[in-house]
Amino acid sequence: MPADGPGRLQSGEPSATAMGVAMRRAAHQLFDDPKVFDDPLATRIIGGAALERLKGELDGISTRSTAPSGPTSSPAAAMPRTG
């Protein structure tokens, strides 16, 4: 089996699952109010380029809504799934 096929981990690179979780953590810190908890590392983990991409993807999603709050009403929940 080739070590570099689809879905394989690359040495020194985060997995798609790890990056997806990190993106959701960062989105929660940037866009959700109230926060479940403060996570000062969330935006640092994903790095500058991914942070800018995240801000662009979620641009225009309001953190204030008249809809009831819940697990699917937050901007972080509206993020596209990775992997």
The whole-number pLDDT of residue 63 equals 45
Token pair belonging to 63:
């953190």
Determine the 3-state secondary structure of 65 from DSSP. Answer: coil
Q: Tell me the C-alpha distance between 20 and 40, whole Å.
A: 17
The whole-number pLDDT of residue 64 equals 43
Mean pLDDT of each 10-residue bin along the chain, 83 residues long: 65 90 92 91 92 82 49 57 57
Q: Tell me the C-alpha distance between 74 and 64, whole Å.
A: 9
Q: pTM for the complete prediction?
A: 0.60
The whole-number pLDDT of residue 54 equals 87
Helices (H) and strands (E) in the chain, counts: 2, 0
**Which sequence spans correspond to the domains of the chain?**
16-57
Question: Of 28, 27, 73, which is closest to residue 50 (Cα–Cα)?
Answer: 27
